[in-house]
Amino acid sequence: MAHVAQRPPAWARRDLKARLITYARRALSVILVVAATAAGGYLALVGYHQSATLSVGEIRMSVSPGHRGALDVYVPLVDWGARFEAIRAPIRLRVDLQTVNRRVATSLAEGKPLDVEQVRKEAEDALRTYLMRLIGLTVAAASALGLLVAFAIRSRVPRLRWTAPTAILVAIGIGVAMVTLVPPRGEIADPQYYAHGPDIPRALEAVEAAQRTPGVLDQELDAQLVGLARLVVEPGRRQSLTGQPTITVASDLHNNTVALGVLERATDGGPLFFVGDLTDRGSPLETRLVSRIVHTGDPFVFVSGNHDSDYLKRELAAAGGIVLTQRGRLKQDGTYGPVINKIAGLRVAGYDDPFERRSAESFRDRFDNNPQPGMQEAFLQWLRPLIGKVDVVMVHEGALLSTALDVLKDDPPQSPLVFLIGHTHKTALDQRPGVTVINGGSIGAGGTGNLAESTELSLARFTFTTKPAFQPLAADLVSIDPGTGNSSARRAILEPETTR
């Protein structure tokens, strides 16, 4: 006789269902308590701020969650800020300079020194007090709201005993996480500077103000900010940039003549090193449109990119521009001068792009996404005899450097060597022993044919010294959103470790 499976009795099924419902209620209760505890902590985190009076002025400290961890020092008076990625939690600890002490501002304007250590100690004490109170308030608020929900649940279901301990444990966990992740760690260095504005001119004015301001903080901030700047950047550790020569590095205009005015203001009559792709095809019409750029820099130095042409090079040289090629400087009569040229105190060489367009071929596109076999080796062989004799090498296509950088990694040059590149339309900086690679992005925001891509308008500023010998000091990478005018500027100090 076949065995027939018997169904569990009704009371067993009811008991199983009751237990499942109980477990579900307990799990839901714990989830609600955890959510309430976290919400209480979040409300305290975003709602609490504190003001403190320092000798340089009054500051306001607050926290903004949901961002990449950073310490923001912001000055509403001039709509300018500095951001330091020194916090591991996904929040921004913000310090706003609300007022500037008139006595301190007057003293600084008269050239009198500021007691930096006193200001630093005041700032550290203010931040420490704020963070201690913030963490304490966050834990208290998290516990209060969590326990409130826990007791509300227990009043309806008395057997749920885990809700209150859960609230307390979660609140303690939030406090431990804040103690571990919120206070800034390590050296506060390599800031990113930013400004907000409705248009490019306003944003550029902020960048220009940062470039021309004398004093401490390596001239990044307006004179009103000097006191605040000293809260976060220790002066005297690095060589001052005041009075040091600076060049503007730009590339990839791509016929965007609207950006020429921005480039003129950024260059301000100083040296302009343009690293290729001034046009889209290098045709005679395009050349006439952009030829005024020769008078933007004093001097104007150029190497070709894959969107430029032999015709463009000849016209720029004839107009007085310094056009560099792997064969040497292109002269107005079409002959070539030396490969290494002394320009703005620098020994400079340039490598014209192997994909540049040719007038004899109707300016057709010759570009390949990757350098052809042998091009990187050819560049290395061209570079070898120049190492130790040249300070700056201009080359549009950064991929051509690949083999050379590998060789220089194994055998770093005895004297600093700086490569200026373009092509990618993105600002970038690469540092390695003895070698620096700077990409100024795209001054034309990708060109008039790429407006839909929302490419930032960008350039770089390179500061150096030639006394007693060539030494890179700093690189500023500047980006401006052409739609909103919002700008950011990041400074990297390029001095060797022994001088930092």
Q: Identify the band that residue 93 occupies on the pLDDT scale cut at 50, 70 and 90.
A: confident
What average pLDDT score do residues 128-140 get?
92
Q: Is the pLDDT of residue 86 over 80?
A: no
121-127 contacts at long range (C-beta below 8 A, 24 or more positions apart): 122/52, 122/54, 122/55, 123/54, 123/59, 123/95, 123/231, 123/232, 126/52, 126/54, 126/59, 126/61, 127/61, 127/93, 127/95
Q: What pTM was computed for the model?
A: 0.61
Helix/strand/coil for 426 = coil
Dist. CA 358–CA 91, nearest whole Å: 53
| Bond preceding residue 299 cis, omega within 30 of 0 | yes
Collapsing DSSP to helix, strand or coil, 226 comes out as: helix
Domains of the chain: 45-181 (no CATH), 238-499 (3.60.21.10)
- What values do phi and psi take at 324, rounded to 5? -105, 140
Closest C-alpha to 441, from 394, 396, 486, 400: 396
- Extended beta strands in 111-254, E state: 192-195, 246-250
Q: Give the model confidence (pLDDT) of 371-412 as tens digits.
A: 777 899 999 999 999 999 999 999 999 999 999 999 999 999
Phi then psi for 337, rounded to 5 degrees? -100, -155
CA-CA distance, 460 to 207, in Å (whole number)? 11
**Residue 404: helix, strand or coil by DSSP?**
helix
Residue positions counted in the chain: 500
- Structure tokens belonging to residue 267: 């260059």
Residue 169 reports pLDDT greater than 60: yes
Q: Which tokens go with 485?
A: 């005018």
Alpha-carbon gap, residue 423 to 441, rounded angstroms:
7
Query: Averaging pLDDT over each range in 7-21, 110-124, 353-367, which range is the top one?
Result: 353-367
> What pLDDT is recorded for position 33?
87
Closest residue by Cα to residue 483 from 457, 458, 460: 457
3-class state of residue 50 by DSSP: strand
Q: Report the 10 Å Cβ neighbour count for 487.
A: 26
The whole-number pLDDT of residue 13 equals 57
pLDDT tens column, 202-242:
444 444 444 443 333 333 333 333 333 333 333 334 455 77
Closest CA relative to residue 491, chosen from 233, 296, 268: 233
341, 322 contact by CB (below 8 A): yes
* pLDDT for 289: 79
